Amino acid sequence: MIKSGFNPKAIHTLLSNKPSLQLAIALSSGLLMGTTPAPGNLWFVAWIALVPLWILVNSTSKAQTLKFKWLLGFLWGVGYHGLAISWIRDLHPLTWMGVPWLASIAIALFAWSASTLWGGLLVSTWSWGMAFLSQRVSDRTPSPWLRILVGVALWCGLESLWSTGALWWTSLSFTQSPHNLAILHLGQISGPNTVVAAIVTINGLLAESWLSLFPPRPTPHTPHPKNYLAIALGLLITLHLIGFGLYLQPLTDQPIAGLRIGIVQGNIPTRIKLFEEGISRAIAAYTNGYRALANQGVDAVLMPEGALPYYWIGANRARDPLYQAIADKGIPLWLGTPGLRNGRVTQSLFSINGQGDEIGRYDKIKLVPLGEYIPFESIVGRFISRLSPVEASMVLGKPNQHFDTPFGRAIAGICYDSAFTRLFRNQAATGGQFIITASNNDPYGAAMMTQHHAQDVMRAIESDRWAVRATNTGFSGVVDPHGHTVWISDFRTYQTHVAIIFRRQTQTPYVRWGDWLTPSLLVMATLAWLGHRLT
């Protein structure tokens, strides 16, 4: 007991008897975690924001059912994911597409709520699993160390599972980008789940320091709360030192591997892009930008997703002003524009050599649900299409694509792809020497654009590659392999920029072996839990 009047037992008793207060705390701590990415940028909060949920879920109160603890996790997840991706509301208005005002609001709210609820389901599944573990077996509760091991393994496993689906953006690792570069370098070891494991472990240790004040059956060997706090602090420092050691590794880029890349940010609003005014502006902006950058002696030019709002391929290509500029200047171009694959539309990035010939192509793999395609179109497409502004679904790109350029193989991504680390890791493992991403980002605001930049920072660090980003409305940028933002464009402006990057052929442990940490944790946690059940 602390003489100042702070009474942990009274607080614990109050929480145990106030279910409504527990629900409020779960939601509030989730919202607190939601302040970690832009625009909140409170990345350091992530190291404590999971503590309240951990305490509530692992409480031994008999009044708490598994369903109630499932609800605690769901509210935490809704708070975190809902606040972090609240920029989805920027979809409204869609009246420029002929969508009525109220229908436009409904579409934006549906997209926001569906993504939020899906994130809430992840955390509620974790909470249910932890609550199930905490149930007594033969009058014995699991040890705090078993809870921590299972809690970390389960969270990493669920994030791995969720990241294979269509809705993914807000991994716990994402809370540290782009600010905490030291801890983000742990991603080089086993991908973003290495950072996730670090965050969950520290939160678990802090939570167990509180729970240790109220052991179900105190024994002389019950750890003192200070022990958990000391371990948490020591581990936090150690993890940052490991990451900092990786951060300090010199890049040692050779001048012969350098490339001068021109970036064009056209700033053509989506609401006009598909109409005559937008098409004219796009042709002028990107053709003039290409010529200006070619005159500055760049090796290649990168343009964003949908830079030209029409098919690049076709018989009339030779009369296209941009094609004529390529024929005149002879500088390779990486062009984001719609493509065709077996008669279906793709969102594509074309690699075009100095003669105007296509030598490489990447089709977007992770299309935006309802925005670029209708999920389960053949089954429920007619019903869901009422909530989607798209008239026809694009076709998803095939996995394991390669993107060849005149300078060797690159790692390509288009917009939403940036949230899916496996796409980048696979391309790095098969010879990708630098990252290029093309994005639209309109009609979203600065919060989403900053978060998107943060995703590409993580991908650059994990793969130890230079990354060049071209967006339509912001923020285009250049990121080095240590996650430094070498250059970033302004918000919703027309800009061109010349960036110097370097081709690299290194392979981090993550690129070489993938996410080996998560299955290792799951195996260890399963064996430990079985041992607890059987003894």
Planar angle of CA 329, 332, 334, nearest 5 degrees: 130
Catalytic residue check, 305: yes
What's the number of CA atoms in the CB half-sphere (13 Å) around residue 210? 21
The rounded distance, in Å, linking the Cα atoms of 488 and 250 is 23
Active-site residue (options: 69, 364, 366, 462): 364
> How far apart are alpha carbons 168 and 418 in whole angstroms?
10
Give the count of beta carbons closer than 10 Å to the beta carbon of residue 182.
19
User: Closest Cα to residue 84, out of 192, 217, 191, 173?
Assistant: 173
Token pair in block for residue 20: 């409504």
Is residue 156 annotated as part of the catalytic site, yes or no? Answer: no
Give Cα separations from 52 to 26, 73, 128, 265 (angstroms): 7, 11, 15, 43
Euclidean distance between CA atoms 464 and 485, whole angstroms: 14
| Token code pair at residue 405 | 């350029």
d(CA 100, CA 77): 32
User: What does the H/E/C string look like for 282-349?
Assistant: HHHHHHHHHHHHHHCCCCEEECCCCCCCCCCCCHHHHHCHHHHHHHHHCCCEEEEEEEEECCEEEEEE
By C-alpha distance, which of 331, 367, 330 is closest to 348?
Answer: 367
Question: Which residues make beta-bridge pairs with 352?
Answer: 333, 358
Catalytic annotation on 415?
yes
DSSP H stretches of helix in 135-191: 144-162, 181-184, 187-190
Cα–Cα distances (Å) from 212 to 3, 130, 143, 221, 228, in that order, read: 19, 17, 10, 11, 9
Catalytic entry in 208, 372, 415, 462: 415
**Could you tell me the end-to-end alpha-carbon distance of the chain, in angstroms, rounded to an integer?**
35
Interacting residues of 503 by C-beta distance below 8 A, sequence separation 6+: 257, 258, 259, 407, 408, 433, 434, 466
The one catalytic residue in 69, 156, 273, 305 is 305
Contacts (Cβ under 8 Å, ≥6 apart) of 342: 395
- d(CA 294, CA 261) in angstroms, rounded, equals 10
Amino acid 454 reads A
- Nearest 5°: the CA angle 438, 443, 448 is 70
- List, by residue number, the catalytic residues: 305, 364, 415
